[in-house]
Structure formats: structure tokens, C-alpha cells
Amino acid sequence: MIRPLAPADHPALARLFEEMQAYYAVPCPPREDIEASLAGRPAGTEILVAEDGAALAGFAAFSAIYPGPGLAGGLFLKELFVGARHRGGGHGRALVRAVAVEAVARGLKRVDWTADAGQPALLAFYESLGAAPKPDKVFFRLDGEGLARLGGAE
């Protein structure tokens, strides 16, 4: 079952965030910090969760973007993650479908996301959903020293 995140889900979602950070081999803040960030996440950030029985199997985090094609809006799927013990059960497909349903219901024209180029199974999964890679686009990120330098006081 796919549904919007509820405040009561924060502890379980924090555990999934910990698993996600370990999967990507990146640092993870303490659980209480994760739960606090969930409660205070930026306005416009939406999270859908996939349930498998009583457990949270995965989540999709997305936000509205504007402008898009024809000056209409779209959605940006920031993160899609399904816990290891729930993979292969259709939860990822159901989450992406739910995001697509949201986009269509809102009259939006597209859903965008990024994917790790070195993950052929992931790329094949996205293509199996009907998504097309956009090799004419380049993904940029401003963070760390570059962000501090550009965003700092002059």
C-alpha cells in the first residue's frame, strides 16, 4: 500500500534513511537528528511510503518544480529507496507510479529524477517503467567549498 507519510511514521522512516545512507556508503546523522529533520523538512517536500504489512518497505521523496514544458510544472523525484528485505516485491514500481499519478492529477507535464550511471540494473528498472534517459542534460551540484564560496557574504 502506498500512502503519504504521517508523523507517526518518522521513527520507521528514520530507520530506512539509515539503511539508505549505509547502502550509499555515506555518513548518517544520529537517529534523533533524522527524526527532527523529518518533522522540520522544507515546505513543499512530499514523501510517500510503501507499506508491507506493518513495516515501511520504502519511500519516495519529491517536490514540485516550475517552470517545465509549456511553462507548466512538474515533479522532481529526489529520492526513491526500498529496503533490502523488501526489494523485488514491486514497491519501487508502486512508488514511482504513485508519484506519476500525483503529477497527472495535478495537471503537471513530467517527473524528473537522477540516477547513478554506474547502476545498470537501476537504469533498466527506470526504463522498464517507460522513463527515458536524457543524455543531452548534465547534472550539476553546488555544495561544500563551492557553495560556501558562492553563497557566502561578499
2-151 CATH, one of 3.30.420.340, 3.30.70.920, 3.40.630.30, 3.40.1050.10: 3.40.630.30
Secondary structure (3-state) at 135: coil
**What is the b/e burial string over 86-119, where b = at least 16 CB atoms within 10 angstroms of the residue's CB?**
beeeebbebbbebbbebbeeeebbebebebeeee
Residue type, 147: L
Model-level pTM greater than 0.95?
A: no
- Reading the chain (154 residues) residue by residue, the pLDDT tens digits are 999 999 999 999 999 999 999 999 999 999 999 999 999 999 999 999 999 998 999 999 999 999 987 888 999 999 999 999 999 999 999 999 999 999 999 999 999 999 998 999 999 999 999 999 999 988 898 988 999 999 986 6
- Domain boundaries, given as residue ranges, for the chain: 2-151
